[in-house]
Amino acid sequence: MSMIERVRASIPALPPAEQRVAKLVVADARSFASLPVSELAERAHVSKPTVVRFCRSVGYDGLADFKLKLAGTVNEGVPFVHRAVDEDDKPGDIIVKVVDNAVSALLKYRNDAASHAFERAIEALAGACRRGRRIEFYGVGNSGIVAVALSDGHVQVMSATMLQPGDCAVIISNSGRSRDLLDAADIARKKGATVIVITCSGSPLAQLASGGSHQILLAADHPEDYDRYSPMVSRLLHLMIIDILTTGVALRLPGELRPMLQEIKKNLRAKRYAQTP
């Protein structure tokens, strides 16, 4: 949760005068970070001590500390490090802010996720499993790590070229702009395979996946700027989406899959060096 979001969430618990200061922050954080206390008090129709009290009420040392942290927030955190942190954050602050940022994104996704798109994707994947068809995962860079995907562009093109109707291609991309993935998705689509895309709404890859009955978009939207920050939250979202798909497919294939999963766990247990009593 960003600093502005935390201020917004605190409004109901504040006294009426401090609520007006909080609303001023939410309405124009950039100006609040730069204006003198007299101007802030006048705009919020409160006294100057009330502005300072508000800053302390929401967990800061005073107005100077609040404005310093706010300036970092409106500039999207520390450039190329993390959007939720500030330059002088202590380890305890970093823990809270990074975890809150991830939890906020996951909860937002829970509320925004399109269940009908997941229904279509799970049915396509389960159908491919029942018929013994191929299921391929494509990703590049950090997105290639998410589901042990094919991450070489040449291999992706060769794999996509061999797909047929009834097969599935699951394509994972944070930005949705990777040329290799766009090429693979287009080839898979032309071959008649079902193309399931996990990416942000409005990207070129998302647009490619929204044009037919065999294209499914599982939008993974989040506040990270992929041109500035490492895709931390997006990786968590993508892994969660894969977990949802895996769970859904496992429930659709109870007879065939569960004994196999049980056997896998049994064989993995034998590989552990330290056995439980």
Does the structure show a pLDDT above 90 at 202? Answer: no
- Lowest-pLDDT range, 47-51, 106-110, 224-228, 263-267? 224-228
User: What per-residue confidence (pLDDT) applies to 55?
Assistant: 92
Using pLDDT thresholds of 50, 70 and 90, give the confidence band for residue 20: very high
The pLDDT of 219-224, averaged and rounded, is 78
**How is residue 78 annotated by DSSP?**
B
The pLDDT of 79-89, averaged and rounded, is 61
Does the structure show a pLDDT above 90 at 158? Answer: yes
Average pLDDT taken over every residue of the chain: 84
| Most confident region among 2-6, 21-25, 227-231 by mean pLDDT | 21-25
Using pLDDT thresholds of 50, 70 and 90, give the confidence band for residue 79: very low
User: What per-residue confidence (pLDDT) applies to 27?
Assistant: 85
User: What per-residue confidence (pLDDT) applies to 83?
Assistant: 59
- Lowest-pLDDT range, 36-50, 82-96, 248-262? 82-96
The pLDDT of 156-169, averaged and rounded, is 94
Q: State both tokens at 176.
A: 């949705």
CA 120/CA 207 separation, integer angstroms? 17
Domains and CATH numbers, the chain: 3-110 (1.10.10.10), 114-270 (3.40.50.10490)
CA 166/CA 164 separation, integer angstroms? 6
Percent composition of the chain: helix, strand, coil (DSSP 3-state, to 5) = 60, 10, 30
